[in-house]
Structure 1
Amino acid sequence: MVDAIGFVERLVGGLNRLLLLLCKAAAVLLLAVMTGIIIASVFCRYVLSDAIPWSEEIAKFVMVWMTFIVAPVGLSLGAHIAIDALANALKGRLYFLLLVGVFGAIIALMLMFVDQATFLTQNARIQRASTIDVSISYVYAAMPIGCAVTALVALEFWLNALKGVIDPARGTDRHGAGDPSLVG
């Protein structure tokens, strides 16, 4: 049983490494785009005395995308705020059982977000951005995508914790605490 869980964990882990690599590359690109837009906007406004009308809106849209695509990277690195007093006090099966619950809750929440964000994205397709003729659904699409990848990262940790519940010697303490193998 533990071997089968480990096999699925490795499959999900391989997919996660690819997705997290794409998320990190996209985040770097989007940060560069947002920085360029803001610098150009400041230059045009204060040096040329002519504002770029769409710069603020596009910068906000890019920031929304960055937020949702770096969330799974943050989870994989253990970079999100955590209250870990209970986790630090537990050992063996109880520790892994706690992680099964925590990552199970994250998966359930992310799947609910994917469902609701997909609904929101589909309903927003007729709404247009105010300064450019682009559907707001392109901005909202960041939500289901980011939440789906976050759910996959949590699934990998959940599978690892499940191995630890079954056999504490086979579970590893790599629940996002800076494990570099998870992000490529």
Structure 2
Amino acid sequence: MSDLLDSAVRGFYRLIEIILVLCMSVMLVMVFGNVVLRLFFNTGIDLSEEMPRFAFVWMTFLGGIIGLHRRSHLGVDMVVQALPVLGRKVCWAISQVIMFICALFIFYGTWLQHDIIAGNASPVAQISMLWVYGVSYVTGAAIALICLSNLIRLVQGKVPDNELIDVHEEGLTEGLEAERDMKAQQMAGGAKP
């Protein structure tokens, strides 16, 4: 059962990544095509003004899910790093609870506005704006589930200490490992003579 759930979760994140690539492709093709048409033919496609904006909305909301899943959001960890492990766990739990509440507000706010959003049509494509802003249902639910899962793992003691700091600077791990190796070599070199 656990393997089935894990493969379903991996499939969900893979689907989101595919949708993000499609959104980026739509934005690139439509905006570039419209620029070429306006520059060389003094014309344009009205739809290519609207669809890239909608794709950008989807990319922003779905990218937030992937960012939380990969723990790649920006943050400041100066205070948290100075805390003992128990303090880090408390801070991590507080941040997960706050994100959980915010995700519920995103979902609930979309639900409150559902009829208004569904009743409005986009000016050019004439599609329901629910197809644009309805992505916040997915985002709110997914972020709430991720945070709830993290809190359950914390209570069960399955959160490793290195996960308690959500900030991971690019290249920092490699730099720290290189520094550690260099110090080990210096100590080994100094101990030989």
Please state which band the TM-score falls in when normalised by the shorter chain: 0.7 to 0.9
TM-score normalized by structure 2? 0.76
TM-score by length of 1: 0.79
Q: Percent identity?
A: 20
Aligned to 1:3: none
CA distance in 2, matches of 1:14, 1:96: 28
- The yes-or-no answer on 1:20 pairing with 2:9 is no
Structure 1 counterpart of 2:117: 124
Give the aligned partner of residue 86 of structure 1. Answer: 79
In the alignment, is residue 40 of structure 1 matched against residue 33 of structure 2?
yes
Q: Higher relative contact order at CA 8 Å, sep ≥6: structure 1 or structure 2?
A: 1
1:52-131 to 2 correspondences below 5 Å: 52-131=45-124
* Larger of the two Rg values belongs to structure: 2
Partner of 2:175: none
Query: Residue 134 of structure 2 corresponds to which residue in structure 1?
Result: 141
Provide the secondary structure at the position in 2 that maps to 1:83: coil
CA 1:68 to 1:126, structure 2 compared with 1: closer, same or farther past 3 Å? same
CA–CA separation in structure 1 for the residues paired with 2:10 and 2:51: 29
> Mind listing any 5+ residue stretches in structure 1 that lack a counterpart?
1-6, 165-169, 179-184
Show the counterpart of 1:181.
Answer: none
Structure 2 unmatched runs, 5+ = 169-193
The residue type paired with residue 171 of structure 1 is V
Residues 50-78 of structure 1 show CA distances to partners (whole Å, capped at 9, x for unaligned) of 11112111110110011101101111222
What displacement does 1:105 show?
1.1
Matched, 1:171 2:164: no
RMSD: 2.4
Q: Identify if the C-alpha distance between structure 1 residues 61 and 136 changes in structure 2 by more than 3 Å, giving closer, same or farther.
A: same
Structure 2 counterpart of 1:119, which letter? L
Tell me the residue number matched to 2:179.
Answer: none
Q: Give secondary structure in 1 for the equivalent of 2:123.
A: coil
* 1:29 Cα deviation from its structure 2 partner: 1.2
Checking the alignment, whether the CA contact within 8 Å between 1:87 and 1:98 is kept in structure 2 is: yes
